[in-house]
Amino acid sequence: MSGVEVQNITKRFGRALALDDVTVSFPDGGFFGLLGPSGSGKTTLLRTIAGFHYPEAGRIRIGDRPVEQVPVEQRDIGMMFQNYALFPNMSVADNVGFGLRVRRVPAAEERRRIAETLDLVQLGGLADRRPAQLSGGQRQRVALARAIVTNPKVLLLDEPLSALDKSLRVDMQIELKRIQRDIGITTIFVTHDQEEALTLSDRIGILRAGRIVQVGPPREVYDRPVDAFAAGFLGEANWIPDSCLAGLDLPASPQGHRFAVRPEALAIGTAPDLARNALRGRLVQRVFAGAMATCLIEVEGSPWKLVARDRDIPDLPGAGEVWLSWAARDTIAVPA
């Protein structure tokens, strides 16, 4: 297996700058999530690594090999597309083995590798079925099997779970992580789902307008965002109004910073917690969602959100005064 190094990559489509001097490393054997809003450049970066786009400037290395001008079929990558792109007239086994036949792998070796890969994705008994006879989750596994059966150095996934419903998507997140760990392949995936990125990734890269905003382990990026965009994009942030800063225990930071607190870091009650940071607000709405609940609160004219276990939220007056409190260590500071 191999890591991937992207150095100073620039890519344009006409006058549109899709990637703007992007430099990022994808560690060998790691699971790296690319996250960003629509048009941020995450899919363009993935497809440029794959070889579907050639950059105007910069270098791409897979292992020790420069590949920025190498055709896609010679880059030794496996790619799984959002729509799976399975051949409807072929069996599961034939779909999985397509890349092996293109590479003229001997028939006995092909059969062995197909069987091993189908067992890995837990489809060993479905080799003779057609895609139309499979569930959405099974089709997803077939597409994944086809991407890894050739033993590529790098696996690229473009929104791999977006076509699945929520409950199945959670199950497949667990399976995808298991398979990636079993084979130890360097994996880069694009997603718009923040929770999915946090669940699957060893490292996360946030993109905005063709540039890398922040890279790091999920917990680090979530707890210590580098700017307001990263804080608001990965998770939610309640921004503390300037008029409320006095008297709060805030992180030491230069002037010109803004401060925020995550919804799940808040506690709510009818009186302030004098041992913690506390602000007064007005309860606007309480939304019950089974084990969890969300409270919407107005603080100095700003909308705030609290998320907690429903049992941990006391009985509160409807549309009445409440107090929000949180530990000082949970305050986020970012440049304004």
For the cut 60, the answer to whether the pLDDT of residue 75 exceeds it is: yes
**Number of domain units in the chain:** 2
**Residue 281, amino acid:** G
Single residue among 177, 211, 232 that ends a domain in this structure: 232
Query: Which CATH number characterizes residue 148's domain?
Result: 3.40.50.300
Query: Residue 95 — pLDDT band, cuts 50, 70, 90?
Result: very high
State the pLDDT at residue 1.
Answer: 57
Q: Is there a single domain that holds both residue 98 and residue 181?
A: yes
Q: Are residues 301 and 155 in the same domain?
A: no
Q: How far apart are CA 174 and CA 308, in angstroms?
A: 24
The structure tokens 């791999």 sit at: 160
Same domain assignment for residues 220 and 80 = yes
Whole-Å CA distances, 103 to 50, 92, 100, 113, 188: 18, 18, 5, 13, 24
3-state secondary structure labels for all residues of 4-26: EEEEEEEEEECCEEEEEEEEEEE
Q: Tell whether 164 and 210 lie within a shared domain.
A: yes
pLDDT in tens, 198-232: 989 999 999 999 999 999 999 999 999 999 999 99
Do residues 136 and 249 both lie within one domain?
no
Cβ distance 62 to 68 under 8 Å? no
Average pLDDT (267-292) is 92
If asked whether residues 11 and 150 sit together in one domain, one would say: yes
The answer on 80 and 47 residing in a single domain is yes
Do residues 172 and 256 both lie within one domain?
A: no
Average pLDDT over residues 271-288: 93
At position 220, the amino acid (one-letter code) is: E
214 and 261 in a single domain? The answer is no
Of residues 195 and 300, more confidence is placed in 300
Q: Where are the alpha helices (DSSP H) in 8-73?
A: 42-50
* Cα-Cα-Cα-Cα dihedral sign, residues 152, 206, 223, 261: negative
Higher pLDDT, 135 or 324: 324
CATH number at residue 262: 2.40.50.100
End-of-domain residue from the set 232, 257, 286: 232
Percent of the chain with pLDDT over 70: 99
pLDDT number for residue 98: 92
Q: Are residues 209 and 304 in the same domain?
A: no
Which band of pLDDT confidence, cut at 50, 70 and 90, is reported for residue 40?
very high
Q: Which of 205, 232, 259 is the last residue of a domain?
A: 232
**CA separation for the pair 264, 6 (Å, rounded):** 35
- Looking at residue 314, its pLDDT comes to 87
Domain, as residue range, for 294: 239-335
What span, in angstroms and rounded, lies between the C-alpha atoms of 322 and 305?
13
Regarding whether 328 and 189 lie in a shared domain, the answer is: no
Higher pLDDT, 2 or 248: 248
68-96: average pLDDT? 91
202 and 329 together in one domain? no
